[in-house]
């Protein structure tokens, strides 16, 4: 660890931070713009750039591109390499098998560990939106400090805005917060799976629960220590991965990967580990989970319409339109999502946009419809 003199004359640690971006998601909720061959993280729905590029750009003040690793399946990796042509091949880590996030993050962490065991790994999904980027970076810097100094696994909890049933929750002890770096960290008391509405209401009322953002920080050496203690069933896979990475043998890597249980990192490790810390992720986070979430991101006209593309609206209210390159005329319609993309058109009640995935499921059932997936 190097040190440098900060502005106030105080010695500041210059941490070796490595970002691991989970770029392999396969969401269907943005159909028909999002397709099997073009998942959400490659869509330009939140800004001018695909969400994956925004994720890389957003962390640049803390993590230069050369310290970013993108983890994904082979198909998403091909798309990611096209988007980031300047990154070397080594920046792209292809999952040998689809086995959920735990094996993928073990592999990414093992690579970092071989390079610098004290480096801090920041795990970031490629398809989330963060509105307050300055605040996010402050929290991320503090998280790096907490992971490095406290030797803890660290996560960010999103202050819940409503009793969501679509997210996992993190229970934390609000009384025992401690300031580390620029943020307050709380001891985690438990990870909870997606609740039903009654539970979600309780969670919200108690004030002790935050949404699980799926962002994590750990020192590589701490990660393996925790794995050994709290999830020893993963150690044969870890050892195999390290050996395969050292030798560069891809067959052995695949075999080691296959040894790891196919679990999420939350389930495999986070919820078992003692001393996990959580900071408030009050930086305008959204997982952009469905079309209607874009109402919060795109500018809206006086009638609440949010549009991409040329739109002529007569007495239309609260409509979300994605139809670049064409004219959309709306007459007297309300609360609908309109998405025109290639060979398919979606018209959906705003309140039912979670059902878009049911459309994709229905399309899978007929051979003639498969081309639309």
8 Å CB contact between 25 and 214: no
Q: Which two tokens stand for residue 235?
A: 């150690």
Task: Name the one residue in this structure whose structure tokens are 């406290």.
Answer: 150
Tally DSSP H helices, then E strands, for the chain: 10, 18
Among 286, 312, 367, 370, binds a copy of itself (CB under 8 A): 312
Residue pointed to by tokens 């941490």: 15
HSE-CB at 365 with a 13 A cutoff on CA atoms is 5
The answer to whether 111 touches 69, Cβ cutoff 8 Å, is yes
Rule CB under 8 A: is residue 301 a binding residue for a copy of itself? no
Burial of 353 (0-12, 13-18, 19+ CB in 10 A): buried
Q: Which of residues 239-298 bind a copy of itself (CB under 8 A)?
A: none
Shortest distance, position 75 Cβ to a copy of itself, whole Å: 23
User: Of 33, 105, 94, 72, whose CA–CA distance to 321 is shortest?
Assistant: 33
Nearer to a copy of itself by Cβ, of 259 and 344: the residue is 344
Report in angstroms how near the CB of residue 318 gets to a copy of itself at its nearest: 13
**Segment interacting with a copy of itself (CB under 8 A) among 205-213, 225-233, 272-280, 321-329:** 321-329
24-53 mask for a copy of itself (x: CB under 8 A)?
Answer: -------xx---------------------
Query: Is residue 186 at the binding interface for a copy of itself, with CB under 8 A as the rule?
Result: no
**330 interacts with a copy of itself by CB under 8 A:** yes
- Return the residue matching tokens 């590589």: 220
Instruction: Among 43, 120, 256, 356, indicate the residue that binds a copy of itself (CB under 8 A).
Output: 356
Q: List the one residue from 359, 364, 367, 370 that touches a copy of itself (CB under 8 A).
A: 359
- From residue 36, give the alpha-carbon distance in Å to each of 32, 124, 303: 10, 22, 34
363 binds a copy of itself (CB under 8 A): yes
Under the rule (CB under 8 A), what is the footprint of a copy of itself? 31-32, 310, 312, 314-315, 319, 323, 325-333, 336, 338, 340, 343-349, 351-353, 355-356, 358-359, 362-363, 369, 372
């Amino acid at each position: 660890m190097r040190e440098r003199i900060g502005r106030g004359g105080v010695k500041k640690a210059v941490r070796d931070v490595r970002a691991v971006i989970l770029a392999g998601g396969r969401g269907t909720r943005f159909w028909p713009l999002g397709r099997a061959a073009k998942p959400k993280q490659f869509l330009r729905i939140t800004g001018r750039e695909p969400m994956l590029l925004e994720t890389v750009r957003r962390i640049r003040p803390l993590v230069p591109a050369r310290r970013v690793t993108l983890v994904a399946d082979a198909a998403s990796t091909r798309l990611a390499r096209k988007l980031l042509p300047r990154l070397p091949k080594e920046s792209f880590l292809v999952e040998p098998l689809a086995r959920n996030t735990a094996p993928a993050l073990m592999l990414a962490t093992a690579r970092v560990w071989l390079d610098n065991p004290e480096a801090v790994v920041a795990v970031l999904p490629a398809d989330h939106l963060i509105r307050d980027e300055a605040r996010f970076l402050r929290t991320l810097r503090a998280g790096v400090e907490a992971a490095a100094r406290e030797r803890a696994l660290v996560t960010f909890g999103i202050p819940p805005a409503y009793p969501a049933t679509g997210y996992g929750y993190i229970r934390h002890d609000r009384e025992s917060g401690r300031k580390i770096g620029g943020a307050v960290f709380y001891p985690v008391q438990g990870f909870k799976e997606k609740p039903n509405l009654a539970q979600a209401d309780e969670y919200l009322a108690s004030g002790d629960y935050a949404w699980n953002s799926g962002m994590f920080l750990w020192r590589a050496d701490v990660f393996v220590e925790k794995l050994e203690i709290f999830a020893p069933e993963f150690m044969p896979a870890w050892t195999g991965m390290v050996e395969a990475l050292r030798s560069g043998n891809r067959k052995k890597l695949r075999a080691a990967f296959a040894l790891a249980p196919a679990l999420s990192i939350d389930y495999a490790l986070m919820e078992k580990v003692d001393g996990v810390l959580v900071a408030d992720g009050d930086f305008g986070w959204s997982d952009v989970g469905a079309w209607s979430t874009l109402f919060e991101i795109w500018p809206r006209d006086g009638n609440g319409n949010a549009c991409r593309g040329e739109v002529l609206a007569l007495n239309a209210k609260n409509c979300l339109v994605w139809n670049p390159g064409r004219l959309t005329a709306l007459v007297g319609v309300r609360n609908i999502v309109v998405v025109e993309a290639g060979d398919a058109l979606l018209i959906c009640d705003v309140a039912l946009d979670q059902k878009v995935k049911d459309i994709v499921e229905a399309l899978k059932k007929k051979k003639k419809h498969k081309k639309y997936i």
